[in-house]
A and B are shown apart, each in its own frame.
Chain A
Amino acid sequence: MPKEPKVTGLSPNEGPPGTKVTIRGENLGTGATDLTGLTICGVNCLLTAEWVSPSKITCKTGLCKGKGEVIVTTRSGGLGTCTVTFRGYVMQTGPLEESAVWIDESTTTDKRGRSKSSSALFRKNEDPLGMSMEGKGKFPIDQLEEMFPEGSGDPSNDKFLSEWFLIENHHHTSFEDLKSGLSYLKRKSSQRSEGPLAFMKGNLTSIMDCQDALAAMHQDLLKDESTSEGGSITEKLESLLNKANDSANAMYQDVLGRKDKADATRNALNVLQRFRFLFSLPGSIERNIQNGDYDIVINDYAKAKSLFADTEVQVFKRVYLEVEKQIEAFRGQLTEKLMQLPSSLDEQSKLIRYLMDLGAPGDPAWDCLVNQQKWLLQLLLDCKEEHIKQAQSAPSVAGSEGDTPSHTPLKYRPSVGTPGSVFTPGRSSVKRMPSFGSTQSPDQAGWKFKTPQRVQFVDDLTDVLLENFPDLWKLWEGYSTGSLLNETAEKADVANQEKETQFKKMVEEVMAVYSKLLRAAFLPESLSSSPEERIKYGVWPEGKYDNMAHWLPQFVRTIRSCYGTLSGMNLPDETTHDVRDVAQDTRVHCVTTLLQQATEDVKALNDRETWTVERDDRGGITTLPLLFENIITELIQHLKEVVQSRAEESEIFRGADTRIKVSKLCEDMLSAFSVTMDQLAFRTDTEAETTCIASDSLLPTSQQPSSGHDELTSPSEHIPPLERRLVIVLSNCSHTREKVLPKLIDLLEKNGYPEVQKVQKGSQSCFSGLDEKLFDAYLEQKADPLVGALEPGVYAGYFMWNDCLPPRGVRNYVKEALMNLIAVHAEVFSISPLLVERVLSRLLQALAEEMLRLMECVTDWSRDGAIQARLELCALQDALALYKTPESSKSFHDALQIVPPVTSAADRKNLEELMNKFKSNMQLQLTCFRSDSLKRTLV
């Protein structure tokens, strides 16, 4: 069982409060946590106790006075005992003693002058009634306090109450005893009052002796005074005393001086202690700045400012000055930090708040705004410089690519996604040039799929603006509304008007620079032509400019999204005008460029004609119109986004100039196809030859074995003879005019292109012109031999109308003409059945006119001749009845008028027979025309 703690040794065994005591003994606990109590002279010292071992504890004494035990309490052993005692005392440090600690002398009471309170009637522990106070039960104090709330049982106390005293000490005493006590008290007091007298009585002889001695001394003194030389004895005494005083002074001067010094030092220490805050402020400010505890610094500074700013004390002034200097430096540091960009808005507002709290001069927020704006401008310009440099560093690639600008762009539009769809199977010249591809394709591919520098530039520039400008704006908003700094709210109101206009100007400047940079990149011609300005906003290498077209929509998208973001920020309207204008201009530019591009593309289509006719029920066309349509549709799709106006933007085709320009371009674009077709149709054979040779010569010899198939599909093989070409193109043309064009016009109108009617009219007239031209050309090709063959045919075999055999049937020339027509029919029908009627009716017309002319030339008719002529005319008319036109009918009619009428019935019968014979003989041939009509009726 654990034993109770026992203290058997103390080192030291006495001391003033705070003495470190080593307590030794037994069972002083099993550990630091086992120790639960430690009292020295009844004063708890557990707080300072330090458990060392079960036999040793050290602690510091508390405020104890007098002797007392040291009791240790442990959890394991309970309350302990003690065999030794500790004596506590309060040490008073006198003025002449050295002291390691500061002694507050203000509370030190000088006891020298105070009389001792020995006038108390009774000594303690001595009963005033002369009776023992020990051994009797005392009356409980608290009850007494209840009975006499304002009294005291202490005879030396002012509020002494005899009742209290008696009840407290003598409530067991008998009345007799009290009586005798009273008499004792009376005796005592009488003794006291007659004390001196009694003393005199008792010592009368001694007193007399003293008096005698004093008298003798007096006489001696008088004698000395009278006999001694050099003045009275008191004088001597005085001088002696003075000397003694002097020497005493001298002796103590040192000590007193030291005391003064000590006092001064203590004073200084005291001041240092009391104003430690101020004195340690420079150090703590530096430390806190280093630690980044700016709030503490600001608080400290505010405190110091309020306390010491107006101080008159030199020391404070000096220290405060130092603090001010530090804060000044700190402010500088903060300002520098604030001016350091990029930084987040939070960081900035924090710094600004710090600066304001530190009472920085001027307007740090405004400075910050100005700085940030400048920085942003610089950033924009830097962006430009960098990109221009990069663009210039790769001009060779741009140049080589710039040489072949015409067909690449649309194919590589990033948004189209499937460039292969634009390719036609036959159009594979690039594919069929492996050497060309193998040597250059890596570079080309690299370039093709790499975003051009300018587009990157625009993206980056916009990124830079959108990344940094909102911060600037938010900072301004915070600044202008005062939310940045609560206390400057009123101040901001005053500054607002002036600052707002200034800031607006700043924003405008940013926007102007931004938009001008954009213009420099994409619309250099829209900038003012002064060379400095051009240089300022960057001169881009020109080479690649043509290839930019397909990047334009992206560019437009970027700018518009930028403008959208900007206008979403509630910026003042006038500030974003520049950007809006740029957006507008770029849109127009984009549209026009792409339209031009498309026109080029359309013009380039003639290289891609395959002459492969694909027929549908409406007629045969090649892929060309489809390609044309594709190009335009794609373009319109592509431009859709660009053309569509957003809420905050104005209509793209608002300006009259723009409208005219765009509609003109549209018209050009559409008409370009007619030009293309024109070229295709009337391309001379020599041209085709050279193209063929040119492409053939590019074929490497190694490719010969496998080129057999290629040759079959080579363009020269494919280019059909002129007549066929004409028909194909004619078919294409009419198809385009009737089907494609309305579709496209419709599309244009839907997409809000301006003056579509005019475009339609223009392009339609263009196409019909082409149609006429083609048709005429074709007719010329066909009608000339047909018609030319008639006259020799009529007069073949020296045939004379007035002198001929009776007709035996339709002569060969009619059949020949019909066969020719059938050939034409076949040719046209194979390409476009729809054209057959048109062509044949025109041919018939020409035929009829020729026949009429021939008939008019005949002056003399024989009967047989008349029958013959009538037969042949009727046969022709009959065979081609399907293609008759008013003109041809009239011609035939006129011709028949010229021919003398057949009057006799036999002749008429003969004519009919011959006619039937012709029909039956030529049935097969005639069916070709019929079948056509059959087909047409079916359709």
Chain B
Amino acid sequence: MASKPKPLQMALHKVIMVGSGGVGKSALTLQFMYDEFVEDYEPTKADSYRKKVVLDGEEVQIDILDTAGQEDYAAIRDNYFRSGEGFLCVFSITEQESFAATADFREQILRVKNDENIPFLLVGNKCDLFDKRQVTIETATAKAGEWNVPYVETSAKTRQNVDKVFFDLMCEIRDRKKEETAKPDGKKNKKTKKEGKRKKKCVIL
């Protein structure tokens, strides 16, 4: 009844989980969403989650798109990325390859979004398994510094830093949106461009 108009007004932040297969994207998501840790591994195709959260006293909605890490789905990632407003790029600290792959994801996101400053967090998951660590904090931090993004280590199992990464990202998205509405340049221009494109009718030879 009264709740219907509310979501319309409520801010919606679209977060996309990226990263290689098996690094714990879904685990992070489910831990964040439902406070549960899923032990059994089932490769994700594309999962959607959305819920209300309170961000700095403000009620907002977070929309999480949990994507497939497997290379099989690489081709359809473009579509997903396009709708994303912020990205959690996850790797497993116990797996060097997954860390290496973050570069590719970063590259792809930048290509699709065409925006260097897109909200982006580098997340080193499975930090509870420190005895199996392959990626040092230094390496990861260095990489994050290179990209000018924050680096956070998490554990979906212990829920360490789980809320932090999502809320940090949401803050960034929110700040970013405020920025955009404040000075209508750059991004806004892009938007108008897009709109213009849409209006122009296709001409078929």
Contacts and interface: CB of A to CB of B under 8 A. Distances in A.
A12 B44 contact: yes
A9 B44 contact: no
A12 B49 contact: no
Interface in B44-94: 44-51, 61, 63, 65-66
A24 B49 contact: yes
Given A24-B33, A24-B34, A83-B61, A8 B51 contact: yes
A496 B65 CA distance: 87
B49 A84 contact: yes
A679 interface: no
A55 B48 contact: no
Given A24-B34, A55-B34, A83-B61, A8 B49 contact: yes
Contacts of A14: 45-46
B13 to A, nearest CB: 13
A83 B51 contact: yes
Contacts of B33: 8-9, 24
Contact of B47 (A12, A55, A83): A12
A13 B30 CA distance: 15
20 contacts: A8-B33, A8-B49, A8-B50, A9-B33, A9-B48, A9-B50, A10-B49, A11-B26, A11-B44, A11-B47, A12-B44, A12-B45, A12-B46, A13-B46, A13-B65, A14-B45, A24-B30, A24-B49, A83-B50, A83-B51
B75 to A, nearest CB: 15
A10 B33 CA distance: 12
Interface string B24-47: 001000100110100000001111
4 smallest CB-CB distances across A and B, nearest first, come from: A13-B48, A11-B47, A83-B50, A9-B49
Nearest to A85: B48
A14 to B, nearest CB: 6
A15 interface: yes
Contacts, number: 45
B52 to A, nearest CB: 8
Given A10-B47, A15-B45, A83-B51, 13 more contacts: A9-B33, A10-B48, A11-B26, A11-B44, A12-B46, A12-B47, A13-B65, A14-B46, A24-B34, A55-B34, A55-B36, A83-B50, A84-B48
Interface in B1-20: 7
Nearest to B45: A12
A84 B50 contact: yes
A21 to B, nearest CB: 10
Contacts of A55: 34, 36
Nearest to B29: A9
Nearest to A7: B50
A15 B46 CA distance: 9
Nearest to A12: B45
A379 B82 CA distance: 96
A14 B68 CA distance: 13
Interface in A177-201: none
A14 B46 CA distance: 7
Interface of A: 8-15, 24, 55, 83-86
A85 B50 CA distance: 10
Contacts of A11: 26, 44, 47, 66
A539 B66 CA distance: 102
Contacts of B66: 11
B168 to A, nearest CB: 21
Contacts of A84: 48-50, 63
Contacts of B34: 9, 24, 55
A667 to B, nearest CB: 113
Contacts of B44: 11-12
Contacts of B36: 55
A67 to B, nearest CB: 11
Q: Which of A15, A55, A84 has the most CB of B within 10 A?
A: A84
Nearest to A15: B45
Contacts of A10: 47-49
A314 to B, nearest CB: 43
Q: Which of B7, B33, B36, B50 has the most CB of A within 10 A?
A: B50
B140 to A, nearest CB: 28
Contacts of B65: 13
Contacts of A12: 44-47
Contacts of B48: 9-10, 13, 84-86
Given A24-B33, A55-B34, A13 B50 contact: no
A434 to B, nearest CB: 99
A24 B26 CA distance: 13
Contacts of B51: 8, 83
A722 to B, nearest CB: 128
B193 to A, nearest CB: 25
Nearest to B35: A55
A83 B3 CA distance: 12
Interface string B131-165: 00000000000000000000000000000000000
A10 B50 CA distance: 9
Contacts of A86: 48
A256 to B, nearest CB: 25
Nearest to B49: A9
Contacts of A85: 48
Contacts of A8: 33, 49-51
A59 to B, nearest CB: 15
A13 B47 contact: yes
B66 to A, nearest CB: 7
A11 B36 CA distance: 15
A55 B34 CA distance: 8
A86 B48 CA distance: 8
B29 to A, nearest CB: 8
Contacts of B26: 11
A28 to B, nearest CB: 11
A86 B49 CA distance: 11
A85 B63 CA distance: 11
A6 to B, nearest CB: 9
Contacts of B45: 12, 14-15
Contacts of A83: 7, 50-51, 61
A228 B58 CA distance: 78
A9 B33 CA distance: 9
A193 to B, nearest CB: 18
A55 B35 CA distance: 11
Contacts of A9: 30, 33-34, 47-50
A85 B49 CA distance: 9
Q: Which of A55, A83, A86 has the most CB of B within 10 A?
A: A83
A122 to B, nearest CB: 15
A930 B151 CA distance: 167
A84 B30 CA distance: 15
Q: Which of B47, B65, B66 has the most CB of A within 10 A?
A: B47
B93 to A, nearest CB: 25
A472 to B, nearest CB: 71
A537 B171 CA distance: 115
A12 B65 CA distance: 10
Nearest to B33: A9
A485 to B, nearest CB: 62
Nearest to A82: B50
Q: Which of B7, B45, B63, B65 has the most CB of A within 10 A?
A: B45
A11 B50 CA distance: 12
A24 B49 CA distance: 9
B7 to A, nearest CB: 8
A84 B7 CA distance: 12
Nearest to B7: A83
A884 to B, nearest CB: 144
Contacts of A13: 46-48, 65
A55 B36 CA distance: 10
A83 B53 CA distance: 13
Nearest to A9: B49
B170 to A, nearest CB: 16
